[in-house]
Structure 1
Amino acid sequence: MPETPVRVLVAKPGLDGHDRGAKIVARTLRDAGFEVVFTGIRQRVEDIVAIALQEDVALVGLSILSGAHVALTARTVEALRAAGAADVTVVVGGTIPAADVPRLRAAGAAAVFPSGTPLDDLVAEVRALTGAAAAP
C-alpha cells in the first residue's frame, strides 16, 4: 500500500499580494510528493490556522514579502499553540534579511528560506522537518 503523502500548507499572510514565489514553492513541494494546500493571497493568521487544523497539515509554510515576517510568523506560531496545534511545524520564506533569521527562529520558525534559496534545499529541509520520504 502506498505511503500517504505528508500534507503541507503554503500560506500568504497579511496584505502582500505577490504570490508567484509561493506558487512555485507549492508546485515544487507537490512535485516532490507532498500534498499541498495553498491558501491564496491576503490571508488572516486566524484563517491560516483554521485551514491548517481543518486540513490536518504537518507543516505551515508562510510566504511573506511585505516586511512583516517577524510579527506574522510569531502570531502564526502563537495561534497554532493556542489552538492546540503546537506540533505543526512553521517555516517562513520570502524577502528576509539575514539579520532577521535569528528573530524568526526565536519566534518559532523551524526553518527560514530567504529569496533565492535553491528549491532542492527547501524540499530537503521540509522532508527533514516532516519525516517525509522522497517521492518514488
Structure 2
Amino acid sequence: MRVLVAKVGLDGHDRGAKIIATSLRDAGMEVIYTGLRQTPEMVVNTALQEDVDAIGVSILSGAHMTVFPKIAKLMKEKGLNDVLLTGGGIIPEADMKTLNELGVGQLFPPGTTTMEIVNYITEWVNLNRQF
C-alpha cells in the first residue's frame, strides 16, 4: 500500500505527521511524506504522480473545513475516486461529522493509537481499491 502523508497550509507542526508516517512504514506501507506548507493542489498532484492508495492529512491549524473539502474536490476532478482521504489533528467532532458527510474518511483526534490508523487504512484499501 502507498500512502501520502501531507501537511497543508501554514501549519508548521509536523511531529505527529512524522510519527504517523513512521508507523505506517513500520506496518509495511510505502509512505510518501510531502513536508510542510503544501497546497491542496500540490497534495493531489503528488497523490496522482505517486499512484497512492490513501492520502492522510495532518492538520492542527484549524483550517480543516477549508483544506479537506478542497482536497476532496480536486481528487474528484482528477479522477481519484478510489483513493482514501483521511487525516487527523485538532478537529471538533461536529466538523468531523460534516467532513465525513462530504466524503472524507475517518478522522483521528489526538490520542488515537497508531495501530487504529494502520488498521483503518489497511481495511479501507482492501475493501475499496480495485487492482
Relative to the length of structure 1, the TM-score reads 0.90
1:102 alignment partner, one of 97, 100, 123: 97
Matched, 1:36 2:31: yes
Count how many residue pairs are aligned between Structure 1 and Structure 2. 127
- Percent identity reads 48
Does the Cα contact within 8 Å between 1:73 and 1:109 map onto a contact in 2? Answer: yes
Matched, 1:27 2:22: yes
Task: Name stretches of at least 5 consecutive residues in structure 2 with no aligned partner.
Answer: none
Q: What is the CA RMSD across the aligned residues, in angstroms?
A: 1.1
Q: Secondary structure of 1:131's match?
A: helix
Consecutive aligned runs of 4 or more in structure 1 exceeding 3 Å deviation: none
- Name the structure 1 match of 2:41: 46
Does the Cα contact within 8 Å between 1:73 and 1:107 map onto a contact in 2? Answer: no
Does the Cα contact within 8 Å between 1:105 and 1:111 map onto a contact in 2? Answer: yes
2:113 alignment partner, one of 113, 118, 130: 118
Task: Name stretches of at least 5 consecutive residues in structure 1 with no aligned partner.
Answer: 1-5
TM superposition shift of 1:107: 2.4
Relative to the length of structure 2, the TM-score reads 0.93
